[in-house]
Chains A and B, each alone.
Chain A
Amino acid sequence: MAANNMRHALFCAIVTLIISFPILGLSLEAKGVNITLSGAKTSTYVAIVLAAVAVFVFQTFRDTFMGALGKLPNFNPLAGREPMEQTKRVKLESWLLTGIVVFALFWPFLVSRGSVDLATLVLIYIMLALGLNVVVGLAGLLDLGYVAFYAVGAYTFALLSQYTGISFWMALPIGALLAGLTGMILGFPVLRLRGDYLAIVTLGFGEIIRILLNNWTTLTGGPNGIGGIPEPTLFGMEFGRRVKEEGNTSFHETFGIAYSGEHKVIFLYLIALVLAVITALIIRRFMRMPVGRAWEALREDEIAARSLGLSRTAVKLSAFTIGAFFAGFAGTVFASKQGFISPESFVFLESAIILAIVVLGGMGSQLGVILAAIAVTILPELAREFSEYRMLIFGAAMVLMMVWRPQGLLPVRRIQITLNKQG
């Protein structure tokens, strides 16, 4: 066994060297027409060798390590305790959510403009992730083209404002409904497909939408995008220094305060916050309604759910449509926040990030998804020097989550009711 282990360890170490040395150790540089090869820093080579040694040591003493890991005392202080009581846990979770919302309401008045802007983005991601959570987490349909519905929402607003001069508040329901409709139309044929095929088809669909946006230059402006998207107004009050549209008044004049660019940023943030809360509440309702139970039932066991009389198409379609609807919602807010959109914002990577949020948060759990959205968006901003490693870490985290904790960081727990014994 020992010799066998050793051989395997040696093999693993050599593989480590092979896969890391050429890519990390030798870098290609284009100099004019010629390409030259240059070596990396010495520290890189040292790191490669150390990695190989680490792999070797770990694989040689793998059994010992794994044994020791199993014997370690559990550091989690909550491990020994009984799981929290159901009612108590639900109450705690809703208190926590309320606390977050109340905190979020007052927070923008205390911090800088940049942080509020970032927070608006976080809220948009929260909306997206909550919507995708319905599709992936609850209904178990892996949608890799989710960003397409986001694009539908954003482009609906952008195009309508360009051609008909529609306002944000009108565009919000239209964008969301149109995205939902797109989801329904797309979902109708594809939802018969099995899980992994569905994933690929939705991915293909997302790419098709992006290519269309990129090439239909006469309508969408192609890669140049659409600019000049209006900002939201508050009962006809605009947040700019001057009123752009006839009949509107400006916010600072109405209230007799000095103009400040911050008003607009904070207002957008508050809109996003309200919409995110609405999204969370609606989806929370759905989860407890029969249709929400049906999603989970179908995810857990399709054959059993169908034999109990659930219509597969109707249930899946409802999840898909609702998910798409909220993506459209988020898309409209995004278009309004940026003031400019282009197909660049709707690439597959965006879908992957939203999926990563849902996966990290624990598929199906709302609180988890919200926390994950905050973490995934804020962490790279906090650690700027790590921001280029962001996607690398995302990828690794997705793999590790699937290997160790496929249920996510904060897994959802079934709502259950125990009946009291009747005397």
Chain B
Amino acid sequence: MQDLLYFSQQLINGLTIGSAYALIAIGYTMVYGIIGMINFAHGEIYMIGAYTALIAITGLTALGLAWLPLILIVALLCAMLVSSSMGWAVERVAYRPVRGRHRLIPLISAIGMSIFLQNYVHLAQGSRNIGFPALIEGGFNFSADGAFEMSLSYMQITIFITTLICMTALSLFISRSRTGRACRAVSQDIGMASLLGIDTNRIISATFIIGAALAAVAGLLLGMYYGSVDPLFGFIAGLKAFTAAVLGGIGSIPGAMLGGLILGVSESMTSGYLSGEYKDVVSFGLLILILLFKPTGLLGKPEVEKI
């Protein structure tokens, strides 16, 4: 019983982190699916989302607003607005001019952008980590005989529910809306889509905006869950989310969700049963193994190189 509770605790922690990873991974996978580049600066967009949310929460609290759901929703909207503007601007400045060149050129440009954004926040907000107030406290506790308690906090529930809402909204958007249909068309064949009258530049911008907005949601959730933010906050999370995207099959949206959950669970199992220090080793090791043995991921389509 004891072991089972411990295992379920790790599972819950893993699913919590994993669903947030999935939110970030969507941004990687959509961009890769459409223009075939790794948006290395995506982790920084997520970090900026977390910072903006914190700024908004602090500001609103200082203004005397007390109703928690309103604070959270306004902070979320602010974070999404700033992050998606950032995503749009980054694409415009750093990626559009180099689109269609040799594969490494957009990647190097993206790495430059990532360094730039990291230091932008570092210079503006300082390099120290800043505590994120725990606004959602408490939770359910289960215990077998009082020895080990398994807890499911309200924060974790919030993360699950928010992720679920975002994912459902995204799926509906992609499958039903006109822009979503255009997104799918562009990811299948960008040349053909533009021949059929789809403004591909607009769709690519839309992809960046959607990805950045979801990353901002993850930024708010994870910032609150971990309890602090710093300018390097996005780097590792971005790598993890990229791993999740690759794990599920890059380019595939359901794949990113699945990959995020698997990665989150395997990470929390490592820290639960082996050692917390090696959880990053496990996720990077996982990434390397997948890329070596099944580069298409779990749900991805094989990529054919055309001559």
Q: Are B107 and A142 in contact (CB under 8 A)?
A: yes
A340 sits at the interface (CB 8 A): no
Of A105-113, A248-256, A385-393, the one contacting chain B is A385-393
Complex formed: what's the CA distance from A23 to B124 in Å? 6
Complex formed: what's the CA distance from A80 to B56 in Å? 56
Q: Are A196 and B107 in contact (CB under 8 A)?
A: yes
- CB neighbours of B105 from chain A (8 A): 402, 406
Of A123-131, A163-171, A197-205, A412-420, the one contacting chain B is A197-205
Complex formed: what's the CA distance from A389 to B275 in Å? 37
Interface residues of B in 74-101 (CB under 8 A from A): 78, 81-82, 85-86, 88-89, 93-94, 97-98, 101
Task: Please classify how large the interface on chain A is, using the bins under 10, 10 to 19, 20 to 34, 35 or more.
Answer: 35 or more
Main secondary structure, interface of A, reads: helix
Given A142-B107, A207-B280, A303-B307, residue A26 in contact with residue B59 (CB < 8 A):
yes
B62 sits at the interface (CB 8 A): yes
Q: Per-residue 0/1 for A47-88: is the Cβ within 8 Å of any B Cβ (1 yes, 0 no)?
A: 000000000000000000000000000000000000000000
Main secondary structure, interface of B, reads: helix
Q: Are A355 and B278 in contact (CB under 8 A)?
A: no
We find that the number of chain B residues with CB closer than 8 angstroms to chain A is 70
Number of interchain pairs (Cβ within 8 Å): 180
- CB neighbours of A22 from chain B (8 A): 51-52, 55-56, 78, 82
Q: Are A398 and B111 in contact (CB under 8 A)?
A: yes
Complex formed: what's the CA distance from A20 to B159 in Å? 28
Q: Are B288 and A399 in contact (CB under 8 A)?
A: no
- CB neighbours of A359 from chain B (8 A): 108
Q: Are A201 and B288 in contact (CB under 8 A)?
A: yes
- CB neighbours of B120 from chain A (8 A): 23, 392
A308 CB to closest chain B CB (Å) equals 14
A282 sits at the interface (CB 8 A): no
Q: Are B277 and A211 in contact (CB under 8 A)?
A: yes
Q: Are B85 and A19 in contact (CB under 8 A)?
A: yes
Complex formed: what's the CA distance from A22 to B124 in Å? 10
Complex formed: what's the CA distance from A205 to B113 in Å? 22
A228 sits at the interface (CB 8 A): no
Complex formed: what's the CA distance from A201 to B292 in Å? 9
Q: Are B131 and A33 in contact (CB under 8 A)?
A: yes
A100 sits at the interface (CB 8 A): no
- CB neighbours of A345 from chain B (8 A): none
B133 sits at the interface (CB 8 A): yes
B207 CB to closest chain A CB (Å) equals 17
A101 sits at the interface (CB 8 A): no
B4 sits at the interface (CB 8 A): no
Q: Are A197 and B85 in contact (CB under 8 A)?
A: no
Q: Are A395 and B114 in contact (CB under 8 A)?
A: yes
Q: Are B281 and A208 in contact (CB under 8 A)?
A: yes
Name A21's closest neighbour in chain B (CB-CB): B82
A201 CB to closest chain B CB (Å) equals 5
Q: Are B115 and A398 in contact (CB under 8 A)?
A: yes
- CB neighbours of B33 from chain A (8 A): none
- CB neighbours of A2 from chain B (8 A): none
Of the candidates B58, B82, B94, B292, the one whose C-beta lies within 8 Å of that of A19 is B82
- CB neighbours of A35 from chain B (8 A): 54, 58, 130-131, 133
Name A397's closest neighbour in chain B (CB-CB): B112
Complex formed: what's the CA distance from A235 to B44 in Å? 51
A398 CB to closest chain B CB (Å) equals 3
B266 sits at the interface (CB 8 A): no
Q: Are A395 and B112 in contact (CB under 8 A)?
A: yes
Given A204-B239, A391-B118, residue A399 in contact with residue B109 (CB < 8 A):
yes
Q: Are B85 and A18 in contact (CB under 8 A)?
A: yes
Complex formed: what's the CA distance from A211 to B279 in Å? 10
A46 sits at the interface (CB 8 A): no
- CB neighbours of A190 from chain B (8 A): 288, 291-292
Q: Which residues of A contact B (CB under 8 A)?
A: 15-16, 18-19, 22-24, 26-28, 30, 33, 35-37, 136, 140, 142, 144, 189-190, 192-197, 199-201, 203-205, 207-208, 211-212, 214-215, 303, 348-349, 352, 355-356, 359, 388-389, 391-392, 394-399, 401-403, 406
Q: Which residues of B contact A (CB under 8 A)?
A: 37-38, 48, 51-52, 54-56, 58-59, 62, 78, 81-82, 85-86, 88-89, 93-94, 97-98, 101-109, 111-126, 128, 130-131, 133, 235, 239, 242-243, 246, 275, 277-278, 280-281, 284-285, 287-288, 291-292, 295, 305, 307
